Amino acid sequence: MAERLSNREGIKGMANPTRYGLERVAYWLQRLSGLGLLAYLIGHIYETSAIVNGKIAWDKMLELTQTIEGHLILTLVIGMCVFHTANGIRVMLGHGGIGVGKPGQPEYPYKAASLNYKQRLCIWVSIALAALAMMYGASVLLGD
Amino acid sequence: MAVVEAPKPSEESNTKTSSQPNTITLRIARSNPSEGQEPSFSEFQIPVQKWTTVLEAILYVKQNFDHSVAVRYSCRQASCGSCGMKINGRPALACYTKVSELNSNVITVEPMNNFPIIRDLAVDFKQLISNHKKMKPFIIREDSEVTPESKEFIQTPQDLEKFLQFSYCIKCGLCNSACPTMATDTSFIGPQGLAQAYRYVADNRDKGKDDRLKIVDDSHGIWRCHFAGSCSQVCPKGVDPAMAIQLLRGYLLGFRK
């Protein structure tokens, strides 16, 4: 009820990447990959904690992850990790005011200087690096 | 859901006009939360020319079909910032958006998100104005340029350029409506307020930088911005709040003095 009265979009609106261009897609991917990496970290701690139960338990846990599904998840983790790092560096530099353009007289049709081609290029490079890393990871993990 | 059709233009009026009007469907969100009225849409078939703006289309509905549609507007030239609304899912000024540029025969207008609805398309700006005021949107210094013995404060064109762009803010609220943080954080200052804080911090006549930095350095302040850039995407005046926020954060991080 309160949500309806305040007319806030909530998480559904925050997580909708479709309406505001590439920068919003990058924001969405950054959040998604961050959550994915957090989930992986928790899973990873659970997996490696099996070692305290001895070699047999550890080998059993390893068997569980050495499957096609396990390798696909690891490939996804590689992609998330590379994108999150590369795009994170772009965002961190931007947060310090680096690469966001200089203030000036706005001219019609008012293209925002902070959403410049350097920022867009960095986003595409982050996506491309993630894709390349995933391809390499998949070839190592799934190849013969 | 009401569907109302426009009267067909007479043959005489058709021969007089050089451009034939198209007919579009205008879907207007209707609600009145204070009366407990559930949100719904009213549909109207209306004639438009290639230069018809969304605001003109809404006013056509008010004049010809249903005068009870609630919409706030004033200048009709993107100067007052009154007619912000969601047009086909994206915040925009109704007076500054031509129907023809939307490339759709169905146009849906809804109240801006992240603002409480008063009725239909009119939203409550209380929080935006209160956050704007919180940023102390005036020059802070002890001496004044209006006393008889003093001169005006000198500024070079370069000094002016550092903040001029951000002073074009018309407080339409589109940036706050598009912001993903505003969608979930009810206490966030918002891109409008933060951009205005930078406007005065960057003004070399102002001496209130430390005060303002203290206000924005808050858990619901500047650190909640994640540079999604949606505020700058929708700004109708080229203010670029995303840039202002990142430059303002530069002061807090020590990149700027």
CB within 8 Å: B243 and A107? no
| CA dist list (Å): B73 to A75, B55, B62, B80 | 53, 8, 13, 8
| Residue in A closest to B179 by C-alpha | A14
- Read off the tokens for B143: 């001496």
| Paired tokens of A102 | 């200089």
CA distance A14 to chain B (A): 4
Residue B143: beta bridge partners? none
Across chain B, mean pLDDT equals 91
State the total domains in chain A.
Answer: 1
Give the per-residue pLDDT at B182: 95
DSSP conformation class of B96: G
Query: What ipTM was estimated for this complex?
Result: 0.88
For residue B79, pLDDT over 70 is answered with: yes
Helices (runs of H) and strands (runs of E) counted in chain A: 6, 0
B17 has a pLDDT exceeding 90? no
* Residue of B224, B227, B239, B247 best to disrupt the A interface, most CBs of A under 10 A: B227
Residue ranges of domains in chain B, CATH in brackets? 3-123 (3.10.20.30), 126-253 (1.10.1060.10)
Percent of chain B topping pLDDT 70: 92
Which residues of B are less than 8 Å from A108 in CB distance?
238
- The token duo for A67 is 């499957």
Range of A87's domain? 21-37+67-98+108-142
pLDDT at B13: 45
Q: Which helix (H) or strand (E) holds B86?
A: strand B84-87
Whether A4 maps to a domain, the answer reads: no
Instruction: Output the pLDDT for position A132.
Output: 98
Within-domain flag for A136: yes
| CB count in 10 Å sphere of residue B220 | 14
**For residue range B148-186, what is the model confidence (pLDDT) as tens digits?**
777 788 899 999 999 999 999 999 999 999 999 999 999
Do residues A74 and A137 make contact, with C-beta atoms less than 8 angstroms apart? yes
Of A26, A104, A115, the CB nearest to B233: A115
Residue of A14, A29, A89, A107 to mutate, testing the B interface (most B Cβ within 10 Å of its Cβ)? A14
A27, A95, A111, A117, best to mutate vs chain B, most B CBs in 10 Å? A95
**Confidence class for position A4, pLDDT limits 50, 70, 90:** low
- Please report whether residue A86 resides in a domain: yes
- pLDDT tens by residue, B81-140: 999 999 999 999 999 999 999 999 999 999 999 999 999 999 999 999 999 999 999 999
Query: Does residue A44 sit within a domain?
Result: no
Partner-chain residue, chosen from A23, A96, A113, that has the shortest CB–CB distance to B228:
A23
Span A14-30, average pLDDT? 93
Q: Decide if A46 is inside a domain.
A: no
The type of residue at A14 is: M
Q: How many CA atoms lie within 13 A of A124 on its CB side?
A: 7
- Name the residue with higher pLDDT: B152 or B27: B27
- Supply B62's token pair: 């008010």
Q: Which amino acid is at A93?
A: L
CB-based contact, B166 to chain A, within 8 Å: yes
**Burial of B48 from C-beta contacts in 10 A (0-12 / 13-18 / 19+):** buried
In a domain, A75, yes or no: yes
Does residue B237 contact residue B169 with C-beta atoms inside 8 Å? yes
Contact A103 B165 (CB under 8 A): yes
Residues 102-161 of B with CB under 8 A from A: 111-117, 123, 161
Closest Cα of chain A to B10: distance in Å?
A: 38
Q: Which of A19-23, A72-76, A112-116, B148-152 has the lowest mean pLDDT?
A: B148-152
Interface of A with B (CB under 8 A): 4-11, 13-14, 19-21, 23-24, 26-27, 30, 91, 94-98, 100-101, 103-108, 110-115, 119
Residues 6+ positions from B242 with CB-CB distance below 8 Å: A100, A112, A114, A115, B191, B225, B227, B228, B229, B231, B232
Residue-level length of chain B: 257
| Closest chain B CA to residue A94 | B246
Segment (H or E) for B4: strand B3-4
Instruction: Closest CB to A97: pick one of B163, B226, B246.
Output: B246
Residue at A43 is within a domain = no
Beta-carbon contacts of B169 under 8 Å, excluding residues fewer than 6 positions away, are: B192, B195, B196, B199, B237, B239, B241
Residue A125 lies in a domain: yes
pLDDT of residue B12 exceeding 80, the answer is no
* Residue B36 region by backbone torsions, left for phi larger than 0, else alpha for psi between -120 and 50, else beta: left
Sign of the Cα pseudo-torsion (A79, B249, B165, B111, in order): positive
**Cβ proximity of B94 and B83 under 8 Å:** yes
pLDDT of residue B2: 55
